Amino acid sequence: MEVLAGDPDFNVVLNESDCSFVFDFSKVYWNSRLQAEHKRLIEMFQPGEVIVDGFAGVGPFAVPAAKKGCYVMGSDLNPESAAALQGNAERNKVADRLRVSCKDGRVFIREAVQAIWDDPIPFSEPSNLAKKRAKEERRARESGNAGDRGIGREVEAPLPPPTPPRRRVDHFVMNLPATAIEFLDAYRGVLAPLREKDPEAFEQVYEDRMPMVHCYAFTRELDVSSAGADLRKKGGTVRMASSTDAVSPSAPLEGGKGPLAAASRSLTTPESELKRWKRIFDSNAKEFTGQKYLDQDSFVNAIASQGDLSRIDRESFGVLFRVADTSRRGLVSWDDFT
């Protein structure tokens, strides 16, 4: 990363999803444009579920999921990212619910499934939810006491039913769009050793549903069907699925190259979002030799379209322009922009 002006201080404190993240921007990856997707996926997770994040970065999925009450196993091959992930888990007081590793994604996926099976996770209510429940129970007791004219007498709240230890992975997150598709082979047969070792226990744990794999990938296609074809070409055995669809663990995937031992979904940037950015690009672009491009001024206008430059000045946005200008022509095309 090149410093154009100012002190070479890349340490960042950033707030997202009610969590605080600290990291060195020159050594790790972060993209604030993905905030809506972070929120969408986290809202899908339910307290008590087990999440395996093989490309966790500094924790944009892992830390909020743990704070919500999920148990998360997160890993990143970049030691700087793994260290920041551990620090962010501690900073947000979820280190007891987020286990951090620094491993290759393919190895980590397979090891995580086995580790959770061999060492089941005892369910523990996160402190924020426990405090909320205790407050509600206290109000209920007070209301019951007053209504029963028995002020001062304790009313015992019923104990919640015991929750068995967790042995099942509910979600896999693969947020490495450039190459995540290449790691999908890690799921082939990943559950087979569990079934072979204890068929009865396996059926009890995975009888109601299989894990969901959230695999992100890049495509420049705006049309959903064209994007699906593009990703199938890249992934070979990947079948595109809708938000309500899933791939059966025993059904062969499209292309006839064998089964995938997990439900899977390939996610791309939503078509509506791509169209929105295309409108922004077209409204700011200028024509050069018959093609539309953004120069530095129009690029800054596009990504700061609401004019809020109070916290980031135009020179800082210019650094992003230098990154996007891959051809080093001082012009950014639509392909560069996306």
Burial 218-230 (b: 16+ CB within 10 A, else e): bbeeeeeeebbeb
Please identify which residue in the block is written with the tokens 């598709």: 181
- Residue 233 is given by DSSP the state H
E-assigned strand segments in the chain: 11-16, 19-24, 50-53, 71-75, 98-101, 171-174, 212-216, 263-267, 286-288, 291-293
Confidence category of residue 244, pLDDT binned at 50, 70, 90: very low
Confidence category of residue 78, pLDDT binned at 50, 70, 90: very high
Q: What is the largest CA-CA distance in the chain?
A: 85
pTM: 0.63
- State percent of the chain over pLDDT 70: 72
- The mean pLDDT value for 102-131 works out to 82
Lowest mean pLDDT among 24-38, 87-101, 247-261: 247-261
Which three-class secondary structure state does DSSP give residue 172? strand
What was the pLDDT predicted at 75?
A: 97
- The mean pLDDT value for 77-89 works out to 96
Q: From 103, 91, 30, 83, select the one nearest 66 (Cα to Cα).
A: 91
C-beta neighbour count of 246 within 10 angstroms: 17
Inter-residue contact 157 to 198 (CB < 8 Å): no
Q: In what order do the strands lie in the sheet with 263-267?
A: 98-101, 71-75, 50-53, 171-174, 212-216, 263-267
CA–CA separation, 140 and 137 (whole Å): 5
Residue 14 has pLDDT above 70, yes or no: yes
What was the pLDDT predicted at 125?
A: 61
What was the pLDDT predicted at 59?
A: 96
